[in-house]
Amino acid sequence: MDMVEFRQVSKQFGDTVVLRDFTFSVAAGEKVAILGPSGSGKSTVLRIIMALENIDGGSVLLDGETLWDPAARGRRKHDRAHIRHMRAKVGMVFQQFNLFPHMTAIQNVAAAPRHVLGSSQAAALAQAAELLNQVGLSDKADNYPSTLSGGQRQRVAIARALALDPKIMLFDEATSALDPELVSEVLDVMRNLARERSLTMLVVTHQIGVARAIADRICFMDQGAVVEQGPPDAFFGSPQNERTRAFLSAVQLT
């Protein structure tokens, strides 16, 4: 069963076409990394799944349910209750952490269960403590984000995204804002998630090491379309598309 399905999706911002006739699917439990140059549409794919952006044409399904279908009667994009229902299936980790600065680590993680699910404070804090333990930050539960390193803040953000027990986890350049020596601690958490949970994961990155470590399948996007995809060994070892080869050569030199 496909957990994520894009059917001939079009999306543009003003006169700029970001996705064109975009057809793409991710199986339940599959881990997919999306590579591509800036402006290729890869982050827009994640924002559409998270219901932060709608679409202009085609349809998008999550877990067998329609998320976006502009042609459908009632135009799903105006149904706030439906959007809340669909967002509950998805956790997203952003490049810049997006933690609440006035809350401690454990309060950041507990906030969504408290306000979205209506969990009691005790239950939400107990779950948050367990999630912080899973990402190796039990000793930082009472720290504010300003006192944490970038890697620690991103691990808190991952714990927060897991707090609603999503079926799909999205990572949008989750390690790109980190100093190189901090990438490994976040990558270890992502690798453990990929190995230990049945989550469907989509990882947008330009870091080849991250893609290799996490993904079952690598997709390369350019100009709003997937132009090449395959398992990591084949994709990196013998890319078939000239545009893919040029991109990988450029990334490996940076």
Continuous segment of H or E residues that includes residue 132: helix 121-134
Instruction: Establish if 143 belongs to a structural domain.
Output: yes
Q: Is position 130 within any domain?
A: yes
Residue 124 domain-assigned?
Answer: yes
Task: Count how many domains the chain has.
Answer: 1
Instruction: Indicate whether 119 belongs to any domain.
Output: yes
Question: Does the residue 154 lie in any domain?
Answer: yes
Q: Could you tell me if residue 155 is inside a domain?
A: yes
For residue 233, what are the contacts with CB-CB under 8 A and spacing of at least 6? none
More reliable by pLDDT, 118 or 239: 239
Say which residue the tokens 């459908």 belong to: 72
pTM for this entry: 0.90
Could you list the residue range(s) of the whole structural domain that residue 125 is in? 100-165
Residue 59, domain member (yes or no): no
pLDDT of 82 reads 85
For the stretch 77-132, pLDDT in tens is 457 788 888 888 999 998 887 899 999 999 999 998 888 778 889 999 999 999 99
- The answer to the question of residue 50 being in a domain is no
Percentage of residues in the chain having pLDDT higher than 90:
65
- 254 band by pLDDT with thresholds 50, 70 and 90: very low
DSSP letter for 116, please.
I
Pick 229 or 116 by higher pLDDT: 229
